[in-house]
Amino acid sequence: MMPKIDEEKTVRVLLVDDHALIRRGMKGQFSLEPGFSIVGEALDGEQAVELASQLQPDVVLMDIDLPVMDGITATQQIKSNCLTTRVLALSAFDEDIQVMGMLAAGADGYCLKTIEWEQLIAVIQLILQGGAYLDPLIAQKVARMLRANVPDVPQSKVIAEPILSNREREILKLIAQGRSNQQIANQLYLSLGTVKSYVRMVLNKLSVDDRVQAAALAVRQGLI
């Protein structure tokens, strides 16, 4: 049974989005919503981590594709530093790497920016009570990814040969060539935040700590 929220308590919200117009619109909407208060706004992930630490908000509405530090890294740090703060991903994108990255980072929910306002408020209340929420489209995507990553092969085979998508193998090859995240982003026409997410996922799948270990393992096991 979920704990009840004190209805008289004001929910303190930190907005994280690099688009000023979106932040302004969200702030205006929350000003009309009783029981909510915007305590801060951040335009990049690094600023989000700093403000979360200073303000200790009840909930952070986190965009993912952010400058300086992406939303996945910011979420991971906020969840480590602010134990009672809930983080709700609010993104225009539903790319596999971003979805899994946010969930792995400890996000309490994932919503698309097409969500209706009343539903967003309900989701915030849900995660504040200890629940979790995935947009229905995201939930279907996660289910498909989980099924895709449980092949009917011996477990030793799964461990010996990490399951990498074509894009992840492409990223891994460029890592092994010594390319920086920015160089990879430029070559593949991806945002820097997306590349960082791919790199993190590759390292996680290979169970290595850094790019050097990833490159060495890739060559040793013939992954590229």
Most confident of 31-35, 58-62, 118-122, 144-148: 58-62
pLDDT band at 60 (very low <50, low <70, confident <90, very high): very high
In 94-204, DSSP assigns E strands to 109-112, 133-134
**Which residues, at least 6 apart from 130, have a Cβ–Cβ distance to it below 8 Å?**
2, 3
Which one of 94, 118, 143 terminates a domain?
A: 143
CATH number of the CATH domain containing 160: 1.10.10.10
Q: Do residues 92 and 183 both lie within one domain?
A: no
Which one of 143, 169, 194 terminates a domain?
A: 143
Q: Do residues 123 and 164 both lie within one domain?
A: no
CATH number of the CATH domain containing 79: 3.40.50.2300
Q: Do residues 201 and 97 both lie within one domain?
A: no
Sign of CA dihedral 109, 113, 114, 116: positive
Q: Do residues 75 and 127 both lie within one domain?
A: yes
**pLDDT (tens digit, 9 = 90+) per residue, 87-119?**
999 988 777 777 878 888 889 999 999 889 999
Report how many domains make up the chain: 2
pLDDT beyond 60 at 47: yes
Sign of CA dihedral 18, 21, 26, 31: positive
pLDDT band at 41 (very low <50, low <70, confident <90, very high): very high
- Asked, for residue 108, whether it belongs to a domain, the answer is yes
pLDDT beyond 90 at 151: no
Q: Do residues 38 and 128 both lie within one domain?
A: yes
- Residue 203 tokens read as 């390292």
Q: Averaged over 24-51, what is the pLDDT? A: 95
Q: Do residues 22 and 98 both lie within one domain?
A: yes
Sign of CA dihedral 109, 203, 44, 182: negative
Q: Do residues 99 and 176 both lie within one domain?
A: no
- Asked, for residue 1, whether it belongs to a domain, the answer is no
Query: Which residue range(s) make up the domain with 160?
Result: 151-221
On whether the CB atoms of residues 100 and 201 are closer than 8 A, the answer is: yes
In this structure, what are the phi and psi dihedrals at residue 34, rounded to the nearest 5 degrees?
Answer: -65, 140
**What pLDDT score does 174 carry?**
87
> What's the predicted TM-score (pTM) here?
0.64
Q: Averaged over 53-81, what is the pLDDT? A: 93
Looking at per-residue pLDDT, the higher value among 6 and 187 belongs to: 187
Element (H, E) at 7: none
Q: Do residues 73 and 127 both lie within one domain?
A: yes
- Asked, for residue 65, whether it belongs to a domain, the answer is yes
Give the bridge partners for 61, in sequence order. Answer: 15, 88
On whether the CB atoms of residues 18 and 67 are closer than 8 A, the answer is: yes
On whether the CB atoms of residues 14 and 40 are closer than 8 A, the answer is: yes
Measured between alpha carbons, how far is 132 from 173 in angstroms, rounded to an integer? 36
**What pLDDT score does 89 carry?**
94
